[in-house]
Structure 1
Amino acid sequence: MDDDLHPESGLAKSVWDDTDFEDMGWHDATVHGLYLQPTDLLPRLLLDLDYVVRWVHPERRSKSFSFWVAPVTLVFEEVWDLTGGLDLTSGIPTLEIADLHRLTPDDGREEYPLWHVEGHEFDLRFRSDGFRQYFRQAPRHVPGPELSPTERGGCAFTEAGFDGR
């Protein structure tokens, strides 16, 4: 990866897509918003996330990791067969992603992968041909994997990457 855009965090570019899937990871990404946007055909699914760009190993005296985190908009186009659930049995949870999986469907329509957003207290499965992820701001070095509302600029679904200047 070419670390030109934000060398401190290792972020190479501000807009990623499904061709970058193998280089990405959503573990510990916090979901701040979900929007199912209607279109003339199939809806779009937009997620407002705090994306962990990099975990920083603890220094000698510290026992905790720190993180490079950025607010992002993750957009899936032409979404269908959307199913999922949310566990509210112990109150309103923090929606944190454990993993995002791209699965090969068993119906022979491989051009529309099955996506599985596996959360700690929620689960989403749907079909879509791909995604784009927009890093709206440069990553910040913070003690935990989540930004404050002020740091992230509130909840947003902006589809533009920052320019690094």
Structure 2
Amino acid sequence: MTTGPHQSSGLSKGTWTDEDFADMGWHDCRVHAVSVTERADDTLTLLRVLLDLDYIVRWVEPERRPHHFTFWVAPATLVFDLAWDIEGSLGPLDDGLEIAEVHRLDPPDGHADPLWHIEGHNFDLRLRAAGYTQHIRLPPQHVPRQVLSLTERAGLSFAEKSFA
């Protein structure tokens, strides 16, 4: 039996980091908003990349066919601090942004930071950062689709606070 902040969904904790990368998956997670913000220190401007997404905590296989999968989904904020070398492409946007896979690639040069590649069905984002933090903002909801409505997810948000 799973113990943690949300036993029904199997979610073991509310805040995840790049140390949990092997245990995480973003396939089919909907991205509702992306932000690239500055955070200045005394000597240089540091960038942060934030994604407001619906994180699929668990896919639930139907008990009988031809029924469909259901999903435990929670709104989340994925944050890459001290990001650099950011590039990407968008389009077409008719169906929204949906993640296919997140890749952590070895540094292609002498810098220690890995290359993060967020490969989407309708977009592509690459950036360098030491790691990430993902905050699950609300408890997961069991829904018949992979995306939450704006009401179910309490609107758009880049809040960096986990529900548990």
TM-score tier (shorter):
over 0.9
Letter in 1 for 2:148: L
Matched residue, 2:161: 160
Q: In the superposition, relative to structure 1, how do residues 39 and 147 fare at CA in structure 2: closer, same or farther (>3 Å)?
A: same
Deviations 1:91-146 (A, max 9, x none): 5331000000000022022x211000000010000101110000000000000110
Residue in structure 2 matching 1:92, options 94, 112, 120: 94
| Counterpart Cα distance in 1 of 2:65 and 2:2 | 31
Tell me, yes or no, if structure 1 residue 21 matches structure 2 residue 49.
no
Q: In the superposition, relative to structure 1, how do residues 75 and 61 fare at CA in structure 2: closer, same or farther (>3 Å)?
A: same
Length-normalised TM-score, structure 1? 0.93
Tell me, yes or no, if structure 1 residue 54 matches structure 2 residue 58.
yes
RMSD (CA atoms): 1.4
Matched residue, 1:69: 73
Matches within 5 A, 1:131-146: 131-146=132-147
Letter in 2 for 1:82: I
Give the match's secondary structure for 1:78: strand
Deviates more, 1:124-133 or 1:57-66: 57-66
Give the match's secondary structure for 1:149: coil
| Counterpart Cα distance in 2 of 1:100 and 1:3 | 27
Deviations 1:73-92 (A, max 9, x none): 0000011111110122xx53
Deviates more, 1:148-157 or 1:100-109: 100-109
Letter in 2 for 1:147: L
Matched residue, 1:125: 126
Matched residue, 2:49: 45
Letter in 2 for 1:29: C
Letter in 1 for 2:108: D
Runs of 4+ in structure 1 off by over 3 angstroms are none
Letter in 1 for 2:110: G
Letter in 2 for 1:75: V
Which one has a larger percent strand, Structure 1 or Structure 2? 2
| Counterpart Cα distance in 2 of 1:131 and 1:101 | 12
Give the match's secondary structure for 1:19: helix
How many residue pairs get matched? Answer: 160
Matched residue, 2:103: 101
Tell me, yes or no, if structure 1 residue 36 matches structure 2 residue 36.
yes
Letter in 1 for 2:31: V
